[in-house]
Amino acid sequence: MTRQTEFGMDTFGDVTVGADGKLLAQAEVIRNIVDEAVLADEAGVDFIGVGEHHRSDFAVSAPEAVLAGIATRTKRIKLGSAVTVLSSDDPIRVFERFSTVNALSNGRAEVILGRGSFTESFPLFGYELRDYETLFNEKLDLFAALLENGPVTWQGKLRPPLAGVTVYPEIEHGRLSAWIGVGGSPESVVRSVHYNIPMTLAIIGGDPKRFLPFVELYKRAQEQTGSGPMPLGVHSPGFVADTDEEAREGLWPGYKAMHDRIGRERGWPETTKESFIHEIEHGSTYAGSPETVARKIAATVRALGTDRFDLKYSSGTTSHDRMMKSIELYGTRVIPLVRDLLSQKEKAA
């Protein structure tokens, strides 16, 4: 029997504008995220991911705390990070926090581990950027050992060794669900398979099919290591409205504000409406009516063979009200349409 693809939503807790056009307080944004997750749960979305940042334009610095709040108000939706910056955190504390969320949610917690595309957490927590690779590699090695749910004996270079240590609270059933967020390096793909932790690809620009070589490498590595089939996830930005035009016009101001703000920090030119439209029509931005977004997601799922597709629904200053409408349409209209399209293709084959 063919597996059923899961469909999730991610937010970085972007600081949004209110009805008066002014930026909301970060505290209000966090409360809004909980309401957005509750709606996603009710609308049939399979997963909600909350990102970690340490800067003024993103409200969430502690995803696990937000997820704990969401856990107490939802029933079925899986709860995860998008991503947890493991390089500048302590693997044991990360495991403990997500194990706690797992307890609160009756086994719905997931952690997506990554190095992060922003670097503010490194100086904030006393780490050197020159140790970027070493930090992630060693901390991931320890976290993989923790996932085995037994007393951990481990030794590395950056912290004292562990001898028969048990971490609490223990996972009640099975093991903590974990993924590795991959931006598109072959080393990251192989690392995922080495640790038997599934990867989720962050595809945020360009044709999604350009990631096919990484998907093929992922499969080859599984065959060569004998790890068995591992699920594959994809994360991409998007926005759903009643019509294509409404989606484009509703998303554009927040999209531009976010891209230009980050671009000024990184030396990029200002984004243009033309490049925005190009990403929607030919790239990795899934914006439009439910029918348009569903067709595009289905095409990506078929092309890459993904087991989960996560739509990054927050985008810069896009208002909470607009995002709530997008979440409702994604859960009640887009997801059923995608599943129908995939079913039709399967029957035709």
The domain that holds 125 is classified in CATH as: 3.20.20.30
pLDDT, tens digit (0-9, with 9 covering 90-100), for 162-209: 999 999 999 999 999 999 999 989 999 999 999 999 999 999 999 999
Q: Could you tell me the residue range of the domain that residue 110 belongs to?
A: 6-348
- Whether 1 is in a domain gets the answer no
CB 247 within 8 A of CB 240: yes
Instruction: For the chain, give the number of residues.
Output: 349
In three-state secondary structure terms, 25 is coil
Q: Cα–Cα distance between 245 and 289 in angstroms, integer?
A: 8
- Whether 290 is in a domain gets the answer yes
Q: Between the CA of residue 297 and those of 1, 211, 337, what are the distances in Å?
A: 22, 15, 10
Task: Give mean pLDDT, residues 99-108.
Answer: 98
Task: Give mean pLDDT, residues 13-37.
Answer: 97
Return the CA Rg of the chain.
20
In three-state secondary structure terms, 79 is strand
pLDDT above 70 as % of the chain: 98
- Whether 163 is in a domain gets the answer yes
Number of helical (H) and strand (E) elements in the chain, helices listed first: 12, 12
Helices (H), the chain: 26-43, 63-71, 91-104, 121-124, 132-146, 186-194, 212-225, 244-266, 273-282, 290-304, 320-329, 335-348
pLDDT, tens digit (0-9, with 9 covering 90-100), for 217-258: 999 999 999 988 999 999 999 999 999 999 999 999 999 999
pLDDT score of 1? 37
Give the HSE-up count for residue 226: Cα atoms under 13 Å, Cβ half-sphere: 0
- Whether 93 is in a domain gets the answer yes
pLDDT score of 349? 60
320, with CB counted inside 10 A (0-12, 13-18, 19+), is buried
116: confidence class by pLDDT, cuts 50, 70, 90: confident
> How many domains does the chain divide into?
1
What is the DSSP secondary structure assignment for residue 316, as one 8-state letter? T
Dihedrals phi, psi of 85, to nearest 5 degrees:
-80, 90
Q: Cα–Cα distance between 247 and 102 in angstroms, integer?
A: 35
Beta strands in 160-269 (DSSP E): 162-165, 177-182, 199-202, 232-240
3: confidence class by pLDDT, cuts 50, 70, 90: low
Average pLDDT in the chain = 96
- Whether 231 is in a domain gets the answer yes
Q: Cα–Cα distance between 74 and 79 in angstroms, integer?
A: 10
Q: Cα–Cα distance between 317 and 257 in angstroms, integer?
A: 7
- Whether 53 is in a domain gets the answer yes
pLDDT score of 328? 98
Amino acid symbol at 125: F
pLDDT score of 184? 81
Longest CA–CA span in the chain (Å) reads 60
- Whether 12 is in a domain gets the answer yes
- Whether 126 is in a domain gets the answer yes
Q: Between the CA of residue 54 and those of 2, 61, 162, 232, 258, what are the distances in Å?
A: 41, 5, 30, 28, 15
CA dihedral 322, 327, 329, 335 (to 10 degrees): 150
Instruction: Indicate if the pLDDT at residue 96 is higher than 90.
Output: yes
Q: Cα–Cα distance between 248 and 253 in angstroms, integer?
A: 9
CA angle at 20 for the pair 15 and 23, rounded to the nearest 5°: 20
CB 190 within 8 A of CB 221: yes
What's the token pair of residue 273? 């409406």
